Structure 1
Amino acid sequence: MSVQPPEPSRCRVMGILNVTPDSFSDGGRYLDHAAAVAHGLRLREQGADIVDVGGESTRPGSERVDAATESERVLPVVRELAEAGVPVSVDTTRAEVAAATARAGAAMINDVSGGLADPEMAGAIADSGLPWILMHWRGHSRDMNSLAVYEDVVGEVRAELSGRVEAALAAGVPEGSILLDPGLGFAKKAEHDWLLLRRLDTFLGMGFPVLVGASRKRFLGSVLSDSDGTPRPAAGRDVATAAISTLAADRGAWGVRVHDVSGTTDALKVAAAWRNGGEIRG
């Protein structure tokens, strides 16, 4: 799978498939193997360029599962989707799971820890030859809220991501296999997320494709709060997510990671038509 930055009109859509009981938005809906595969195929039909399969929740406060459980959840789903011709990324922080899913047909590894959670991950990626998404991360889900302390969030996230790139390159991961993700919501408060989005150019300027993962996250719930201050529930944040996706695509993001693929795909098509004067491209 090529990871070269596409034209803005071809911002990739990564559809989220959580094979977990406890993910913040859709935990438990696709824990059953057949339901997971059916949803992955549906996401592809709706326009997902990639289906991102994860077997461990990373919502704030969640506890880890063991590698065997994670593998048991994702491997059959990855294998069946890949055999059906669906490009699959795997959302994992474990080298063991990354290597196993690569053998099962995964096309990309999406590591929310940027290689920090498992010292063997960089080597596993180098051996697999797969593209690797390095997300900004400061600690596991149970601790992430306490780690959201910054003096200059944009500068610090950029510097910490640069460190992860250097470590990946030193381990033998090709430069052309690396993608970056500023990690919205991971050890970030709402004001941090908004600043990172406003300064997306800072991360694009690092010379690597950039993935934006804003889908249904807390900072959107806050901005959509009711008059009494109650945040909008996760299920009501898809339109806001599509707005973020179109803005990110317009600024040159390589891709967006979303739950609502059909709505996001429609929004990106309209934004591209606006930009191209109605001419349909790609």
Structure 2
Amino acid sequence: MSTSHARTGPVGLPEWGRCAVMGVVNVTPDSFSDGGRWFDTGAAVKRGLELIAAGADLVDVGGESTRPGAARVDEAEELRRVVPVVRELVGEGAVVSVDTMRAAVAEAAIEAGAVLVNDVSGGLADPAMVPAVATADVPFVVMHWRGFSADMNSRAVYGDVVGDVLTELRRRVDAVVEGGIEADRLVIDPGLGFAKNAEHDLALVARLGRLRRELGLPMLVAASRKRFLGRVLAGPDGTPPPARERDHATAAITALAAHEGAWAVRVHEVRASADAVRVVGAVAEAGRSAGAEGAV
């Protein structure tokens, strides 16, 4: 069923009663979408508060770019970027998640008040991640991942992308649970744009409901400004619009994801997506009311 009342999130986070909106705070100089606009701690905190004012339910703070081809930042620098921003946003009353592949960064962010770990590698990049999250007893996002950004494009080879992602995510979820994280604290993410081309991403978006139902876990959809949207919006000469000109297309994916029962969407610009999830919720509620009236 694709109605908002049927959705529940992971234990340890608020229940918003609809698809939640996660706003992105990139504390990096080389993000594909905003090119370092929020690299300064003060600017990043201000940005997080702006996202909340625009309708974000939680903000996701990350200090390492995961765009295709990106080189890794060292641990000390990632800590320097992320922890002060998390601490200040939590101090302002924000619900904060940390976007990291490193256990040490996750632990420091949790100590600073983060309540969710969003690891794009699903715990594969750092063997210490799953034990750290299990010990902290916080929710954990398990994303479909095949390798680091530097060479992930070469791994975009599938027989059946939906079936393969389901199989690989199911295997990873089982490993994470065996590692000590409770299943009711897990969120799954199909990993749009990670070791996937535009056709793969669109196929996954078309089957979001199947992914959610078959895995039986809350789902995060992170499509914001990604390459596949640029491909869809490309002009007659095939040139995609810049990342910042893909927010309306992102809101379209938000509406589709909310309709298919996603727990949350992760977006760079919040207002349109916040509006979209509310409209989807209102339509679903109207449908339930009409059904109840028809049954009388």
* Cα displacement string for residues 88-135 of structure 1 (whole angstroms, at most 9, x for unaligned residues): 000000011111111110010000001110011100000111100010
- Letter matched to residue 234 of structure 1: A
The corresponding residue for 1:55 is 63
Contact 1:136–1:161 under 8 Å retained in 2: yes
The corresponding residue for 1:22 is 30
Q: Structure 1 residue 218 and structure 2 residue 223: aligned?
A: no
* Cα displacement string for residues 153-176 of structure 1 (whole angstroms, at most 9, x for unaligned residues): 111111111111111111110111
Contact 1:122–1:173 under 8 Å retained in 2: yes
The corresponding residue for 1:64 is 72
The corresponding residue for 2:155 is 147
The corresponding residue for 1:94 is 102
Among 210, 216, 221, the residue aligned to 1:207: 216
Deviates more, 1:178-187 or 1:229-238: 229-238
* Cα displacement string for residues 2-50 of structure 1 (whole angstroms, at most 9, x for unaligned residues): 6269999610000000000001011210011110001111111111111
Contact 1:78–1:106 under 8 Å retained in 2: yes
User: 1:194-273 maps to which residues of 2 (within 5 A)?
Assistant: 194-205=202-213, 206-273=215-282
The corresponding residue for 2:10 is 3
- Letter matched to residue 184 of structure 1: L
Q: Distance in 1 between matches of 2:136 and 2:15?
A: 27
Q: Distance in 1 between matches of 2:14 and 2:150?
A: 36
Q: Distance in 2 between matches of 1:174 and 1:214?
A: 27
- Letter matched to residue 69 of structure 1: E
Structure 1 residue 84: Cα displacement: 1.1
Deviates more, 1:249-258 or 1:267-276: 267-276
Q: Distance in 1 between matches of 2:204 and 2:17?
A: 22
* Cα displacement string for residues 233-270 of structure 1 (whole angstroms, at most 9, x for unaligned residues): 11111000001001110110000000110111112222
The corresponding residue for 2:292 is none
Secondary structure (helix, strand or coil) at the match of 2:149 reads coil
- Letter matched to residue 195 of structure 2: A
Q: Distance in 2 between matches of 1:115 and 1:187?
A: 17
Contact 2:9–2:15 under 8 Å retained in 1: no
Structure 1 residue 200: Cα displacement: 1.1
Contact 2:9–2:263 under 8 Å retained in 1: no
Q: Distance in 1 between matches of 2:86 and 2:201?
A: 31
Q: Distance in 1 between matches of 2:15 and 2:40?
A: 37
User: 1:30-45 maps to which residues of 2 (within 5 A)?
Assistant: 30-45=38-53
Q: Distance in 2 between matches of 1:20 and 1:224?
A: 26
Q: Distance in 1 between matches of 2:147 and 2:102?
A: 14
Contact 1:8–1:249 under 8 Å retained in 2: no
Contact 1:25–1:234 under 8 Å retained in 2: yes
Q: Distance in 2 between matches of 1:235 and 1:97?
A: 28
Deviates more, 1:193-202 or 1:33-42: 193-202
- Letter matched to residue 253 of structure 2: I
Secondary structure (helix, strand or coil) at the match of 2:30 reads coil
- Letter matched to residue 246 of structure 1: A
Compared with structure 1, are the counterparts of its residues 7 and 93 closer, same or farther at alpha carbon in structure 2 (3 Å cutoff)?
Answer: closer
Contact 1:15–1:259 under 8 Å retained in 2: yes
Identity of aligned residues (%): 58
Contact 1:9–1:249 under 8 Å retained in 2: no
Deviates more, 1:134-143 or 1:7-16: 7-16
The corresponding residue for 2:294 is none
Compared with structure 1, are the counterparts of its residues 223 and 35 closer, same or farther at alpha carbon in structure 2 (3 Å cutoff)?
Answer: same
Q: Structure 1 residue 136 and structure 2 residue 149: aligned?
A: no
Structure 1 residue 275: Cα displacement: 3.0
Contact 2:9–2:218 under 8 Å retained in 1: no
Q: Distance in 2 between matches of 1:68 and 1:114?
A: 21
Q: Runs of 5+ in structure 2 lacking a partner?
A: 1-7, 289-296
User: 1:66-81 maps to which residues of 2 (within 5 A)?
Assistant: 66-81=74-89
The corresponding residue for 2:293 is none
- Letter matched to residue 149 of structure 1: V
Secondary structure (helix, strand or coil) at the match of 2:286 reads coil
CA-atom RMSD, angstroms? 1.9
Q: Runs of 5+ in structure 1 lacking a partner?
A: none
Structure 1 residue 195: Cα displacement: 0.7
Q: Distance in 2 between matches of 1:6 and 1:240?
A: 28
The corresponding residue for 1:113 is 121
User: 1:183-198 maps to which residues of 2 (within 5 A)?
Assistant: 183-198=191-206
Contact 2:23–2:60 under 8 Å retained in 1: yes
